[in-house]
A and B are shown apart, each in its own frame.
Chain A
Amino acid sequence: MTTVTDPARPVVKETSGPPAGRRRGSFGFNTVSPREKVVRYLLLVFVLLITIGPFLWQLSTSLKGSGEDIYTRIPKLLPAQPTFDHYKAVTDTIPVWDYARNSLVVAVLVVGGNVLGASLAGFALSRLQFRGRKLVLGLFLATLVLPGEVTIISQYVTVREFGLANTLFGVALPGMIGALNVLLMYNAFRSLPIEVDQAAIVDGANAWQRLVYIGLPSVRGTISVVAIFAFIGAWDDFLWPLIVLTDPDKYTLTVGLQYLSGTFSNNPRLIAAGTMIAFIPIVIVFATLQRFFFKGVEEGAVKG
């Protein structure tokens, strides 16, 4: 039953196949003229100015001394009395490491679930023919618009019935395979040239082998996107872990950071420091994974 032909044709190959034997970068496509470099950096800095404001504001607030006005008319970027006290205060106030570990457990489960589940489903939906394929695909698309605004309490009741209330697994569970990620993977697999698959079939490769040896290596970029989205979604979520967890030892970082803003006291500098701490892992994950966006083809199985 399972064949490779897919009605939704990949677009890339229609333009032209890669000419055989041509070496990558052999004629200076990748070199940049000095003028282009200047233009590019100017543009980069311009966009940087637009995007980085909140980050800087947070960073500088977290470093400002207790005697400094943080609500000046014109925000001051450089702290007059820079100090790391607030970071220390955060780590003294709450067990940052324990909370971060809990967050990490949830994030790893969610990332793993999504990478695995979305890749499998995305591959099947785009590269394999089977009855009901269109229907399943339609369901995933429909999920994007399904009304999900008023469901959080019923979601909790479901997780509780699975016996997972107050567990980190219960926090991770609903987000472990996101429909959007399935669609992203579907889209990525779909843009691979069909010819490769056909060649593999001729060689006697089955669906699993084509997935593992041809499919996955070629869509690493999208897998990293899925991983990033899943990680950030799990790491930043506040309301859901709050509802599922009762035991403070199991709190994730976002929930735990709430201890920084109490009923009778609010120190924006402290909260900013906490937010920065929660921000670091996101930066690390992003910086690590982003390079995979650009390797997919270079190292993939697509050989002319």
Chain B
Amino acid sequence: MRRGHLAPVAALAAAALTLAGCGLGSSDESGSSGAKPTVDANAQVTGEVSFQTWALKPKFTSYVEGVIKAFEAKYPGTKVTWLDQPGDGYDKKVLSQASAGQLPDVTNLPPDFALSLAKQNMLLDVAAADPKLAEEYVEGGVQAYQYQGLDGTFGYPWYLNTDIDYWNATKFAAAGLDVKNSPKTFDELLAAAKVMHDKTGGKEYLMSRLPGIGDFTNAGVKIVSDDGKKFVFNTPEAAALLDKYRDAYKAGYLPRDILTQEYLGNSKLFTQGKVAWTTGGGNAIQDFQKDNPSLKGKVVPSPALDTPPLYVQGLSVSAKTKNQAAAIALARFVTNAENQAAFAKIVNIFPSTKASASDPYFSKSDGTPESDAKVLAFESLAKAKVLQPPVISGATNDFIGQQISLAISGKMSSQAALDAAVAKANQLLTQ
């Protein structure tokens, strides 16, 4: 009798958990340590395979279609179904696909998306299927798809980008600063910000960005413990960095409203001509000028302060794919040196293949600021590192940001704010 009463409740609870999004769930596949492909290296590459990209339509439609056509020609009998998802809401879209067990065979996933899916054994370890991976792709790109505590590489690095600095020459001149000799370290940046503030009577700003995890990494602070189980960035060095920002903020070297600015706040302010410094990708000049033509000829690029950040996009293969051989072949084909180089020539990204390093297109400037910026960015790539570990996303990221702005506003000591951020981040990590 008792069982009869409890059974529906248990069933309901189970159903609810399924509805909550597990869908295919990890439990039914548990036991296997990571989704090791059992692929036969000689398997015939043929049949249908689906391919999902992120916001490439309609600008790059012809490029992607060309690549697909070439793939289908190279492997007769294959048919690629291309899906392109809109820019907004991509995380929700992929989540719902994952919950429904309908991840496309090959999907463009940034490293942090791939991490979560890899944890649930939803992605294939492509390195196991393709031993040449490490040889042909740059180290930073491959590492971005390898995670602490997980065994394997969960995506082919597709394209890379980094940030360099951009300065507004007019504002530099107005403050009596030399834009050709722009700040190279954080301390020089602070000094220049003071000059700009003092010389213009507080009317012009240089800096407009709150520090983040990337800045901590750059200051030599370790973010996550070696075993990946704990956040450890509440060090005195991190606090000292926040203190410098706090003092600068208090002195009025930064616009007050940055405490509530969005992530892209500083490049927006730069475009609007409100601040004299921003970071941005190698193609940023074109964007600044498009939105604000009066900036033409006034933007001067220089290498990023300290270590440049590395941004990686990649193609992952679903663990559930029914056509592993074709999926792996497609991911590899789209990311090969030739196709990446062609892509990099129509849009400002950089290839993740080692073979592209010698391509003069990326290493020689034609003398225009736009071209200078591209070369600068390409050269920075060699030094660039992933500055923000992929475990920091969502609520963790928001909470850390909130504590940092609290410290900058002076309402809490930097150390206390960092301690709170670490405590909360750890709680979110283990929950």
Contact = CB atoms under 8 A, between A and B. Distances in A.
A26 B349 CA distance: 75
A258 B292 contact: no
B99 A157 contact: yes
A266 interface: yes
B21 A154 contact: yes
B92 A70 contact: no
A161 to B, nearest CB: 9
Interface in A234-275: 238-239, 242-243, 246, 248, 255, 258-259, 261-268
Interface string A153-191: 110111010000100000000000000000000000000
B272 interface: yes
B89 A238 contact: yes
9 contacts: A68-B293, A73-B273, A156-B96, A238-B89, A242-B92, A255-B86, A261-B55, A262-B60, A265-B287
Contacts of B60: 262
Interface residues of A, number: 34
Given A156-B100, A248-B84, A263 B23 contact: no
A73 B292 CA distance: 11
A87 to B, nearest CB: 16
A33 to B, nearest CB: 48
A259 B58 contact: yes
A263 B87 contact: yes
Given A154-B20, A165-B100, A262 B56 contact: yes
Given A248-B84, A264-B59, 16 more contacts: A69-B291, A69-B292, A71-B272, A153-B20, A153-B21, A154-B20, A156-B96, A157-B99, A243-B93, A248-B57, A259-B86, A261-B87, A262-B87, A263-B55, A265-B287, A267-B290
Contacts of A143: none
A71 B21 contact: no
Interface string A215-239: 0000000000000000000000011
Nearest to A268: B291
Interface string B1-34: 0000000000000001011110100000000000
A93 B58 contact: yes
A94 interface: yes
A154 B19 contact: yes
A263 B58 contact: no
Contacts of B85: 242
A154 B349 CA distance: 37
Interface of B: 16, 18-21, 23, 54-60, 83-89, 92-93, 95-96, 99-100, 271-273, 283, 287, 290-294, 347-349
B88 A238 contact: yes
A71 B273 contact: yes
Interface of A: 66-71, 73, 93-94, 152-154, 156-158, 160, 165, 238-239, 242-243, 246, 248, 255, 258-259, 261-268
Contacts of A94: 58
Contact of A67 (B20, B59, B293): B293
Nearest to A256: B86
Contacts of A261: 55, 87-88
Given A71-B272, A71-B273, A154-B20, A266 B292 contact: no
A242 B87 contact: no
A165 B23 CA distance: 15
A152 B92 contact: yes
Candidate in A71, A242, A258, A264 with the most chain B CB atoms within 10 angstroms: A264
Contacts of B59: 262, 264-265
Contacts of B83: 246, 248
8 nearest A-B residue pairs (beta carbon): A258-B86, A154-B19, A71-B272, A263-B55, A153-B21, A243-B96, A69-B292, A264-B347
Nearest to B313: A263
Contacts of B23: 157
Contacts of B19: 153-154, 157-158
B113 to A, nearest CB: 15
A238 B86 CA distance: 11
Contacts of B99: 153, 156-157
A291 B83 CA distance: 44
A239 B89 contact: yes
Contacts of A267: 290
A71 B274 CA distance: 10
A69 B293 contact: yes
Nearest to A239: B89
Contacts of B349: 264
A253 to B, nearest CB: 12
